[in-house]
Amino acid sequence: MKSKIKFLSFIVFVLAITFTFTQCSHNDKEHSNDSDKASVLDDSFDKIDDSQSNSIEINEHGVKFDHTKMALSCKDCHSCQYPTKQKPCLINCPRKQLITVYHAPEEGPTLVEMNQIKGDYKPFMFTHKLHAQMANMTGGCQTCHHYNTTGPIQKCSNCHESDRAKVKNIHIPDLESAYHRMCLTCHREWSHSTDCQQCHLSKDQNPEEYKKSKIAKYQHKDHPPLVEPGKIVYQTKHSSGKFVTFQHEDHTKLFGLECKSCHGDDNCISCHDYWNKQTGNNTVKFKKTHKTFQQHHNPCSNCHTIQNNCGKCHKEQEVDKFNHSSTGFNLGTNHSHLQCNACHKKTGVFKGLNKNCTSCHNNFVMGKFDHKKTGLQLNEMHADFDCSSCHTNNNFAVSPVCNDCHDGYSYPAKKPGKLVKKK
């Protein structure tokens, strides 16, 4: 018995030293020879060791996640420098930077029965797909699933305690609060009503019938696809520079902005002007609120410099869509679908690009370029030529002429290879 204790304490001693060096503990005073404490220390050490050898962990909610495969900084989830399993020091949800995976609205369930809370009202059917489609136009899935690892979708009740009296961390609302906040943040603005029976089943309704009617009504119902405005013209109250034209399409299509980067905080009423019902044309009117200069210009100033630059946006009349041919370079059919930053690599600078194809297309050199892409597979003879042998001055816009080299030859009667399907 005595020897066993001795042996154990020896192991503990060794482990404790390692422990100190691995900096996993902040308390090195604990490595005493006291066997009670030692066993605790021993235990914790094992686990830490385990997690180091195998980065896949199963958290308390039974969700597997792999730390190493996450594009994250530790600080996104942990508040201390060296989180341990005992003290993960997780920061409170919702975390500032969120980890989400995108799912199409159709991937999720159409209707979800909310029945986890026992209360004054009966369970109700949540039209998940419809809401997901709506969320798609603003914050995406994370509007509701605000904290999710790369694994499966977590249940709300994993974090949100369903019994309010048992809530330990008051920073995380309980399940009932979480549900209602999710609903009410939009629905209060949307319908201006907090009537419980808007969602909940009243006492005289039959739950089965209600369920059936809901399914029948919403199973194939989709939110109508969003009509994206080409441009929005804002009229300001200033006498000079009265019009601000916002090229909405350019921002989404050419700059590749996601909806949520501007509309992340938007609500249904942002578009469905509930009070004015003025959604006739493409020009959408926003509800007027008293905003500071800063708040007012935030949508633009988040990316654009607005200081001393008013005239850039504030014009005397509506502005037409940007025409790239006005710069002397017609985008044609090949380039028109490209986003700006495909060519204009330097952020914010749109000048000084060489019109020469090779200035961008650095693969337009012999041996690197697969000529099949143009729909013409060069035969062996031609494949070995330098590009400029045929394409004079590396001008690929103009097709080469055969009789520059071959007298009397003309395309397409004679081809330098065979035609293939364009890639």
Partner 1 sequence: MDEKVKNQNPRRTFLKQFAVGTAASVGVSLIPTKTEAKFKDTQRENETRMGVLFDATLCAGCRNCERACKVAHNFPVDDIETFRDRSVYKEYRRPSPNNYTVVNEFPPSGVATFPIDVKVQCMHCNEPACASACIVGAFTKHASGAVTWNSDMCIGCRYCMVACPFQIPTFEYDKAIQPKIQKCDLCFERTKVGKIPACVENCPVGALTYGPREELLLLAKEKIERHPDKYYHHVFGEYEVGGTSWLYVAPVEFSELKFPPVGDSPAPGVTEAIQHGIFAYFIPPLALFSWLGGVMYVNNRKNKKIENEANEGEKK
Q: Which residues bind partner 1 (CB under 8 A)?
A: 92, 120, 164-165, 170-171, 173-174, 176-178, 180-181, 184, 188-189, 192, 194-196, 269, 287, 289-290, 295
Residue 87 token pair? 């003290």
Q: How far is the CB of 262 from partner 1 (least distance, A)?
A: 16
Nearer to partner 1, 155 or 287 (CB): 287
Residue 4 or 171 with smaller CB distance to partner 1: 171
Please report how close the Cβ of residue 187 comes to partner 1 at its closest, in angstroms. Answer: 9
**Minimum distance from CB of 167 to partner 1 (Å)?**
8
CB 423 within 8 A of CB 373: yes
Nearer to partner 1, 12 or 178 (CB): 178
Whichever of 177 and 252 has its CB closer to partner 1, that residue is 177
Sign of torsion over alpha carbons 22, 26, 32, 34 = negative
CB closer to partner 1, 60 vs 204: 204
Q: Which amino acid is at 416?
A: P
| Ramachandran area for residue 206 (φ above 0: left; ψ -120 to 50: alpha; else beta) | beta
183 versus 378: smaller Cβ distance to partner 1? 183
Nearest approach, Cβ of residue 178 and partner 1 (Å): 7
Q: How far is the CB of 179 from partner 1 (least distance, A)?
A: 9
Q: Shortest Cβ distance from residue 189 to partner 1 (Å)? A: 6
Q: Are 193 and 204 in contact (CB under 8 A)?
A: no
